[in-house]
Structure 1
């Protein structure tokens, strides 16, 4: 799934971050990615599964290989054992390569990736990006990352040390729900803006802005 974010959407997100930060010492970073992983291993796993399923089927029902020989070679003289083993290897390899080729199509590969795998990899990418873009970049350790992986329809909110000390994953439930709902409807920018506003309220409650506060991280949406 590809969802485009326009220049106007970028401006809206930047403005939403600026507004949300007027009441808090926290800093909000928003990052979007089309997907969080290539999932090439998933395609390989399906190809291997089909390969072993075919070999297991032939082992359990040998006439299948005889029928395959007859289909390809006709009802000629009975094949030798070597010929049958060569046929078995060839068909098994053909099935493996065909599935591997089909699974190169990303939408199919993504659709067949287990949900738990998507969740783990989106979380892993979010933490990696947080460490690179936000962790320890604020004086009070009050940076928070909103990460949206559009293809997986998953999002993560990752906070720096001071934020995780006073919040739990449930704290961000309303913001996550608003974000994902709009993404599913094809409006990622609306979801990001809504999530920013709700996160800003949480941050303002725990980390109200003081006179000495300064903007430590640029207010913008980063697209990967």
Structure 2
């Protein structure tokens, strides 16, 4: 997976694009970029539990093999493993596998690679909504704020709109903006993607909330990087 990063030039270009987009609309555009939307520690735990269950399943399937292994490792004077000893052996193997997988998945790139795509999408969406509520929801007089959120580690983006905008738009309205952003993310050009997304969102806002004389700039025209 390609590592994404934003340069100072990207910040300036996005800020300029926001100012230009808002010049034709009463809407307000907020852009936030996060390194990642979640640590996914629970995913590592799930894989570790799955590995432990596999050990137990293998033990149930190959009991004779494990008994033979015990005898080779710990057998003395031809004595065979008792049921209690064999159960203890299986428990040790299962716990060892659990801890080994958990330790290996402390490496963030592998943990992220083993996280299902649907899980990443849900976490990015949840993070976008949380940030929108904290930074933009109901912070404009006309409830016309729109957040463009990009999560770099997951290579995913979300657009979240305030009350007035949501009433007159559908998720499909942001299709072009998302398509432009996703295409540039895949090409490892997140800054360019954000600029194009801002322009597309600006066009949607201009159609539904054209510029009026009384509008003021209620949200700073800058890219926020967390």
TM range (shorter): over 0.9
**Residues 71-109 of structure 1: CA deviation (Å, up to 9, x unaligned):** 644785322333222211111110000011111111111
The CA deviation at 1:56 is: 1.3
| Alignment match, 1:54 | 55
The CA deviation at 1:125 is: 0.6
The separation in 1 between residues aligned to 2:217 and 2:68, in whole angstroms, is: 73
**How many residues are paired up?**
224
| Alignment match, 2:46 | 45
Unaligned runs of 5+ in 2: none
**Residues 128-153 of structure 1: CA deviation (Å, up to 9, x unaligned):** 00000100110100000000111112
| Alignment match, 1:124 | 126
| Alignment match, 2:8 | 7
SS of the aligned residue for 2:23 comes to helix
Unaligned runs of 5+ in 1: none
The separation in 1 between residues aligned to 2:89 and 2:57, in whole angstroms, is: 15
TM-score by length of 1: 0.95
| Alignment match, 1:84 | 86
What CA RMSD, in Å, does the superposition of the two structures yield over aligned residues? Answer: 1.5
| Alignment match, 2:110 | 108
The separation in 2 between residues aligned to 1:208 and 1:17, in whole angstroms, is: 15
Specify whether residues 58 and 178 from structure 1 end up closer, same or farther in structure 2 by C-alpha distance, changes over 3 A only.
same
The CA deviation at 1:9 is: 1.0
Specify whether residues 71 and 117 from structure 1 end up closer, same or farther in structure 2 by C-alpha distance, changes over 3 A only.
farther
**Are residues 1:182 and 2:214 paired?**
no
**Residues 165-216 of structure 1: CA deviation (Å, up to 9, x unaligned):** 0100010011001101111111110000010001100101110111111111
The separation in 2 between residues aligned to 1:71 and 1:133, in whole angstroms, is: 64
Preserved contact between residue 147 and residue 160 of structure 2 (Cα < 8 Å): yes
TM-score by length of 2: 0.94
